[in-house]
Copies of this chain bind each other. A is one copy, B any other.
Amino acid sequence: MPMNQARVIIENMRPQLQCGTYFIKRVVNESIEVYADVIGDGHDVVQADVAFKHESEKSFTTVRMHHLGNDAHGAVFSVKKQGFYDYKVEAWVDNPLNWQHGIEAKLRDHQIVTSELLDGVQYLEHLLKNVTSKNKAYVEQLISAFQDKESYDLAIKEAISVKLHDLFVNHPLKTFVNSSVVLQVYVDREKARFSTWYEFFPRSTASKEGVHGTFKDAERLLPKIAAMGFDTIYLPPIHPIGEVNRKGKNNATAAQEGDSGVPWGIGSRLGGHKSIHPELGNEADFKRFIKKASEFQLEVAMDLAFQAAPDHPYTITNPEWFRKRPDGTMQYAENPPKKYQDIVNFYFESKAYKELWQELLDVTLHWIGFGVNIFRVDNPHTKPYYFWNWLISEVKKKHPDVLFLAEAFSRPKVMQQLAKQGFTQSYTYFTWRVHKHELMEYVTELTQSEMKEYYRPNFWPNTPDINPYHLQGANESMHLIRYALAATLCGNLGIYGPVFEYMVTDAMPGKEEYLHSEKYEVRFWDWSIENKITYLMTKLNFARRSHPSLQQTNNIRFCPIENDMLMAFYKWNDERTDETLIVVNLDPYYSQQGMVQLPLNELGIEAGRPIQMHDLITDNSYLWYSEWNFVELPASLPFHVFQIKK
């Protein structure tokens, strides 16, 4: 190695993902706790800063790190603007502080420090060049005193003063400073962390049975969805549906006359990814729908499903984007021995990949032009990771408000990888986590492992693709439990309605698929129905809206509770101005009782002092006096969402 006089080594800096290959994620006003091992040689005083800057800024801001023992140092900074921040650690042997530390030890040992005072003048001279004018006179006075034997008493008093210490800390002399690598954090708008999604098929919104719904029909639902406390409407693809090899009802291989097809089988003679399915309306209708939604503070999320029906216009205009079979025909999708003849995949190994990537970016930008700022991306794990990295970063350069939700239900490392490459939010295994131990284990992994830095979960009790076994034929309590868990465990959640709140749980036999799934046919719903589920969903959604501790995912601590059917957890916002305790009865049939332990240490209170537990659902309040407290939850109202009032 080259000769380098730096004396302090910086190691094990975190948060750090794969040596800085990936950025970590935050939303505006969140903070980042930076840690590093800072290892000096010998016994001299070592200091370290965290330095950070927004991409729009020229120079770094620094925060002094604190020694936490065992050579670990830490500091916190917060991010105020959207976009990228750089952050790094700088460390150095602090000669002025070391000098002060030495003189203190010698004075305690009753040594004469005349020579040390003279030695200190160089550090005062460094200060003189850096302190504000109001401290200049003080430093000048010390420079004289340090060199004047007559002023020895004053000199030693000031040499070890807090005032001088603080000046040295605030105007550090960074001799042979060493720097870590520069890492990055990407800052999103707050919705990346807190969002409440409602998915429905606009084609199922007609007010008359047997009629294809339109955007105009769907407009009718906006006040209702807003009133339930949702903030995001997610629509399955709205593009023309392929007619060649179209699938029939209940996933029949061949469609019957009049079958409306699968919205994810995109593209026909009527257009492709930039077109609108004519039966839903036209571009003006869609724009109007988006505008109407925004009047109810609802954002419209679109589906990005990058695949084509065999009759997609691209197959004619750009056959080079598809793989050919040896006979020259288009290779349909397959996962041998299964064949999906209604779909042709883009061929990302194509020589024309750059044009393909660009076109898919154009599709995305096209809809951003309509006012769409959220995309739910279909099956991202079947396209290259680097493609997503490129597409998302290209979009975000100009449209930092745009959010991407990765719909990958795949292996853990695949789902993690998509989040690392830039997806804002990700679907999760919550859909299949039912029992207390598996819920606790999964949420602990999401919130306590490295995943907390880049994987923003979005909890969905159901989706059009997943009618989970535990919801098939499930009662009202089970639906309430699943919604309450999603709403309180995770900052982001979504349901696919109205089948969820109307408990339409009929399944294809033996499969986690809906019977008469809206994926394959238009359904008719009486959207005016209100029931206990809609009532309590609304209560939960508004509790989330008014309680910051429920608008995030990572600040969670499970509380011991002596019953395997009861789960309890404490949540808080970063400032601890809002604290909640959630207790859920996981048993959809019976009342359950247990003793829950309050995290008194974290709450900063002693046992014996009363705490008011205010249930945000029932508006009841309880006074708790002990560390362990009795709770009883009936299956008919299987959760408490307590605001903790100290």
Residues on A lying within 8 angstroms of B by beta carbon are 1-7, 9, 11-12, 18-21, 37, 39, 41-43, 70-71, 101-106, 108-109, 111, 115, 118-119, 121, 175-176, 181, 325-327, 334-337, 348-349, 353-354, 357, 381-386, 389-390, 393, 411-414, 417
Contacts and interface: CB of A to CB of B under 8 A. Distances in A.
A393 B175 CA distance: 25
B5 A115 contact: no
A386 B1 contact: yes
Contacts of A385: 7, 9, 39, 41
Given A37-B413, A41-B381, A118 B71 contact: no
A390 B3 contact: yes
Contacts of A382: 41-43
A175 B336 contact: no
A43 B408 CA distance: 13
A412 B39 CA distance: 10
A71 B389 CA distance: 20
Contact of A71 (B9, B334, B411): B411
Given A105-B337, A334-B102, A382-B41, A5 B70 contact: no
A570 B562 CA distance: 42
Copies of this chain in the oligomer: 2
A326 B118 contact: yes
A389 B12 contact: no
17 contacts: A1-B393, A2-B390, A4-B386, A5-B353, A6-B386, A7-B386, A9-B417, A41-B382, A41-B383, A41-B385, A43-B382, A70-B411, A102-B334, A102-B336, A106-B336, A109-B336, A111-B337
B12 A18 contact: yes
Contacts of A334: 102
Contact of A326 (B108, B119, B349): B119
A133 to B, nearest CB: 28
Given A3-B357, A5-B348, 14 more contacts: A1-B393, A3-B354, A3-B386, A4-B390, A6-B384, A39-B413, A41-B383, A41-B384, A70-B412, A71-B413, A105-B337, A106-B336, A118-B326, A176-B349
B101 A336 contact: yes
A101 B337 CA distance: 10
Contacts of A4: 386, 390
A283 B412 CA distance: 66
A338 to B, nearest CB: 9
Given A70-B412, A71-B411, A108-B337, A349 B5 contact: yes
Nearest to A412: B70
Contacts of A42: 381-383
Nearest to A113: B336
A288 to B, nearest CB: 37
A121 B325 CA distance: 12
Contacts of A327: 115, 118
A390 B1 CA distance: 6
Nearest to A380: B41
A417 B10 CA distance: 10
B37 A349 contact: no
Given A1-B393, A354-B3, A385-B41, A349 B175 contact: yes
A331 to B, nearest CB: 9
A21 B115 CA distance: 42
